[in-house]
Amino acid sequence: MPSLFTKIIQREIPAHIVYEDDRVIAFLDIFPVADGHTLVVPKHEKPNALASDSNDLADCWRVIQTLAPAILRATGTEGCVVVTNVGEAAGQSVPHTHFHIIPRRKGDGLPAWPNPPVDQDRLARTAEQIKQAL
Ligand code: AMP
């Protein structure tokens, strides 16, 4: 069954499309975190960005590099977050690879990531575990 985003690509569901080419589509998020919150989606449907072909990801990034500055100009913002959620545990709700472009401005009140202090031994242990897992 096609994903929600494939249905948007196929024009079965309406969306505010701001960019489209033969490989990528971008449209406004229907529940925007900030004005101009945009989703960049490869047309080749895969469940998440870790499963997508690297060519599809490169195509998305090419679009993000053009689109994000335009979104900042249009919304009068100073910066943006570009993020992709992988898996339900990370908050992914639509299982079709997509990147959020979320405009940010200083003092916009959006929650920041917590940065609790961590000891150097813990960092070294974690780095070792990751290298072993590769
Ligand atoms: P994620 O939670 O990372 O999978 O992001 C999915 C995003 O898709 C959410 O931010 C939703 O608000 C957004 N979304 C869901 N349905 C639609 C829709 N019909 N049109 C545009 N955005 C949508």
pLDDT tens readout for residues 39-77: 999 999 999 999 999 999 999 999 999 999 999 999 999
Is the separation of the CB atoms in 76 and 69 below 8 Å? no
**d(CA 77, ligand 1 centre) in Å:** 22
| Digit-coded pLDDT (tens) for 23-42 | 999 999 999 999 999 999 99
Residue nearest to atom 8 of ligand 1 (CA): 29
State the Cα–Cα distance between residues 40 and 49, nearest whole angstrom.
Answer: 11
Residue 113 pLDDT more than 90?
Answer: no
Atom in ligand 1 nearest the alpha carbon of residue 32 = 12
What is the DSSP code (8-state) at residue 80? Answer: E
Ligand 1: residues whose CB is within 6 Å?
A: 4, 13, 15, 27, 29-31, 39, 85, 91-94
State the Cα–Cα distance between residues 99 and 65, nearest whole angstrom.
Answer: 12
State the Cα–Cα distance between residues 39 and 30, nearest whole angstrom.
Answer: 10
pLDDT reported for residue 99: 98
Residue 105's SS3 state is coil
Residue 112 pLDDT more than 90?
Answer: no
Could you tell me the CATH number of the domain that includes residue 62? 3.30.428.10
Q: Which residue carries 């985003």 as its tokens?
A: 5
Residue 28 domain boundaries: 4-133
What global pTM score does this model have?
0.96
Residue 89 pLDDT more than 90?
Answer: yes
Query: Torsion over CA of 114, 90, 24 and 78, rounded to 10 degrees?
Result: -10
Mutate to test the pocket of ligand 1, among 7, 37, 39 (most ligand atoms within 8 A of CB): 39
Active site residue 98: yes
46 alpha-carbon distance from chain centroid: 14
**d(CA 93, ligand 1 centre) in Å:** 7
- CA angle 108–114–116, rounded 5-degree value: 145
Residue from 37, 44, 96, 98 carrying the catalytic annotation: 98
Share of the chain above pLDDT 70, in %: 100
Atom in ligand 1 nearest the alpha carbon of residue 13 = 19
pLDDT reported for residue 88: 97
State the Cα–Cα distance between residues 23 and 62, nearest whole angstrom.
Answer: 11
Is the separation of the CB atoms in 18 and 36 below 8 Å? no
| Number of structural domains found in the chain | 1
State the Cα–Cα distance between residues 8 and 25, nearest whole angstrom.
Answer: 9
Residue 102 pLDDT more than 90?
Answer: yes
